[in-house]
Structures are given as C-alpha cells and as structure tokens.
Amino acid sequence: AQKVTQAQTEISVVEKEDVTLDCVYETRDTTYYLFWYKQPPSGELVFLIRRNSFDEQNEISGRYSWNFQKSTSSFNFTITASQVVDSAVYFCALSEAFGSARQLTFGSGTQLTVLP
Amino acid sequence: ETGVTQSPTHLIKTRGQQVTLRCSSQSGHNTVSWYQQALGQGPQFIFQYYREEENGRGNFPPRFSGLQFPNYSSELNVNALELDDSALYLCASSLATGGLNYGYTFGSGTRLTVV
C-alpha cells in the first residue's frame, strides 16, 4: 500500500522568508512518480512538479526547489523569498509508474500562509 | 488547448437523493479519474476510466459509479446520498499510452453539499 505523510498541517511565514514543506512517502514499488500540487482557494489542483524515482537530482524552478532523497523516502519542497501569492494548500502525491490505474495517493496537505 | 472543465461548480442535495457530476477532459487526453476531497483533507481516488471502461477503483462503495463517453468526457453518479458525501469532487484527465501515464490535469471541482 502507498502512503504519503505531510506532518506540517499549517505554516505561516512573513513575505520574503524561505519555507520548506516536508513530504515523506511509503511504497513497495521500485519505480514510482512523486508530485507536488498547489491548491488555491478556487479549488483547482495546480501541477508543480513530477519526479521519477530513478532521478534523484534536485530541481530548481525559479523560486521553487525540490529535494528528493530516496534513502529517507522524502521529497521536500522549498519556496525561496516567499510571496503573498504563494499562500495556498500544497499537496505531495505518489503514483506507481506502471500498472492499470496509476492513481495518485495524496498527503493531507500543508496550508501555507504568507503574511505581507 | 482547453483544460478540464467540471459542472456544476456547486450543488446542494438532500440525503437519499442521487446526483450526477460532469467532466470534460483536456483536449488530447484519453483517461479520466475522479477524486473526493473532504474538507481539510487530501483528495481520495474514487475510480478511473480508460476507453470507456472502469480501469481502477479506490475504496468507495458501489453507489459511486461512472461513465466515460467516446469523446472522453465523463460523469460521476452517486446514489443514495449520505451526509458524509459532502465534499469537493475533482476530475483529472491524462494521456495514457504505451503503458505510461503522462501527468494529470485537474478541474476546479464540484462542491457537493448534502443536507
């Protein structure tokens, strides 16, 4: 069975601070995908990144960066110089790479509030 | 390229009634998945449709059923509504080919309230 844990329920930071959102996962699959999604108040899940389990290189996209460590089953997400527009709920998710349905298993989310 | 659209955006139903939610897939996508997101929780997988057949199902009772049409749009039907069915229902489309699934595009969801 797959499981994703986001231990941080809520985080509040002041604008321009850096913030890291933690994600720990469990899976028996040797090949899998990890995702991060952003959910603003409108409800739509906005795709941020997909990472293949074979690729442990860290990735940076503008103010966003991701640290994937297979040894600790973690896929953490850092926002540098946070902005008020970053306020949202962030979800980490896991799916098998092969198989019939490849459903997403989500964590419970982290509510990020960036204060001006 | 149009995204995933869901209708209606909000809905209020009475316990015991039936409801149908609709989803139009993103252009070029052939797979549709439905998720239920209760307040304060992460989305939970309900089921997925590929080539008009159910292709996987989460831990939901049979009163949750669906359809996928030749144009890849989809419906989620819920019978005998219960108060706990109140949630945001999200539809996600994707392209599945050659045994691989290339990412998911989500709609904005339908907020269902059962009273």
* Contact assignment for B106 to A42 by CB distance below 8 Å: no
- Whether A53 has its CB under 8 Å from any CB of chain B: the answer is no
Contacts of B87 in chain A (CB under 8 A): none
Give the pLDDT mean for B11-37. 94
pLDDT band for position B82 (cuts 50, 70, 90)? very high
pLDDT value of residue A60: 82
Give the gyration radius of chain B's Cα atoms: 13
For B109, which of A44, A46, A50 is closest by C-beta distance? A44
pLDDT digits 0-9 by tens, B45-78: 999 998 889 988 999 999 999 999 998 899 999 9
Instruction: Output phi, psi for B85, to 5 deg.
Output: -80, -10
Residues A75, A66: Cα–Cα separation, whole Å: 7
Q: What distance in Å separates the CA atoms of residue B66 and residue B52, rounded to the nearest whole number? A: 10
First-to-final CA distance of chain B? 37
Under 8 Å between Cβ of B84 and B17: no
Q: What integer is the mean pLDDT of B11-29?
A: 94
Give pLDDT, residue B1: 55
B87 or B103: which leads in pLDDT = B87
pLDDT truncated to tens, each residue of chain A (116 aa)? 799 999 999 999 999 999 999 999 999 988 899 999 999 988 889 999 888 888 877 788 899 999 999 999 999 999 999 999 999 999 999 988 766 567 899 999 999 999 99
Pairing mode, strands B19-24 and B5-7: antiparallel
Beta partners for A95?
A: A33
